[in-house]
Amino acid sequence: MTKYDDHDETAGLLSSLIGINTSNPPGNEAALAAFIQRYLTGEGAGAGAFRVVDHGGGRASLVLDLPGGNPGLTLGFAGHMDTVPPGERAEWRSDPFRAERREGFVHGRGAADMKGGLTAMILLARSYLRDGPPPVNLRFFFTADEEAAGMGAAALRDAGFFGDLAFLFICEPTGGHPGVCEKGIVWYDFTLQGRTSHASMPERGINALEAGFEYLAGVKEKIAALAAAPHPLLGTNTCSVTLAQGGVKINVIPDRAAFSADIRCVPGTELPRVEAALDEAAGDLERRHPGLVITRTCRDRRPALEADVSHPAAAFMVDLCGKEAGKKPLGLFYFTDASLVIPFYPRLPFMILGPGLPGECHCPNEKIAPGAIIEAAARYRQFVEAARGEWFS
């Protein structure tokens, strides 16, 4: 069986992925998809094994199928090719798109989130291309746009690529822990229309800016109350005010204000209940301030997810990670491409598991240890070799 213990080779492959700038916006994932296809074609993958979904504007997602010995069983591995932008270059010790090895790590934008996970997926595919067919069918999803609207995962979902899977791994950074749940999100922009007046006579106006903070305080309270009890891995629902605009002059009561809020929900909090809480808070405030009008626009919503850890396949992986590496189940506070797939296939067992530490995501001097990538690829292969039909019957 192919070994994964070549740290230099792993670091070199990761460095090649980092060197293709896929900051979103604009994405440029088509260039990375082409590199992955060329690389694995060089390892023996046939042209017919790949399917490219072109999103236009230099953006694409890639699917690779490796047929296995059990044609009725297909396991999926998914990872996104885009990254967030590097941010302020002065905060980086090295060029974020020219990977640098130092102190046992590879540094560069996307090292952890999630070109390290992509590298582990490629190592897994390469191992079977070198050793011979896998015991079951494998399908690899390299998606575009996870860091924004998720058009890659959504397009692959709508094209039916996930419909025949028996199990799905989301290869996001979890530090090698089995990720068994993730928070959902509701992102809203709020606009409040009040009435202007001289600040010396505030009673003659309706202060939209003050009303906005009052409204969001009420929203925070109602959102927190939607969770009957703290989730054992994810805690409670949260609502954070992340943007605020309002006011024209220090002595003028502002008649308009705009806010944005990031709401994170634990499993069991249904999104319609979030909507109802926003409506209730708006109604309360508008009754207290006659003439005030609150409108809102949703940017994105993703449901919270929780894996069934009693499923034989998930239980096997939780046990394997615990026994071999001391890795306990983990809850993820960020959303993944799973939020665009699992709600459409609620019976599909899944797990979020990949190399890299979640705390490295989106940070300057982002880094990952090649050994973590090697370990993740080996762990995936252990799962593939152990998978059997009765798990999924």
Instruction: For residue 14, give the nearest of 178, 154, 176, 173 by alpha carbon.
Output: 173
Asked whether the predicted pLDDT for residue 71 surpasses 90, the reply is no
Indicate if the pLDDT at residue 378 is higher than 50: yes
Q: Where do the domains of the chain lie, and which CATH numbers do they carry?
A: 7-182+304-392 (3.40.630.10), 184-302 (3.30.70.360)
Helix crossing, 116-131 with 370-386: angle to 10°?
50
pLDDT at 129: 97
Arithmetic mean of pLDDT over the chain? 96
Task: State how far the Cα of 110 lies from the Cα of 368, in Å rounded to an integer.
Answer: 9
Q: How far is CA 377 from the centre of its chain?
A: 19
pTM of the model: 0.95
Label residue 4 by pLDDT band (50, 70, 90). Answer: low
What crossing angle do the helices spanning 29-42 and 7-18 adopt, rounded to 10°? Answer: 150
Q: Kindly give, in sequence order, each residue whose CB lies less than 8 Å from that of residue 172, ignoring residues fewer than 6 positions away.
A: 79, 113, 114, 117, 179, 332, 336, 352, 354
pLDDT in tens, 100-159: 999 999 999 999 999 999 999 999 999 999 999 999 999 999 999 999 999 999 999 999
pLDDT score for 227? 93
> Given pLDDT bands bounded at 50, 70 and 90, which one contains residue 1?
very low
Average pLDDT over residues 189-218: 97
Encode pLDDT of 250-307 as tens digits: 999 999 999 999 999 999 999 999 999 999 999 999 999 999 999 999 999 999 999 9
Give me the percent of the chain exceeding a pLDDT of 90.
97
| Cis ω before 26 (30° cut-off from 0) | yes
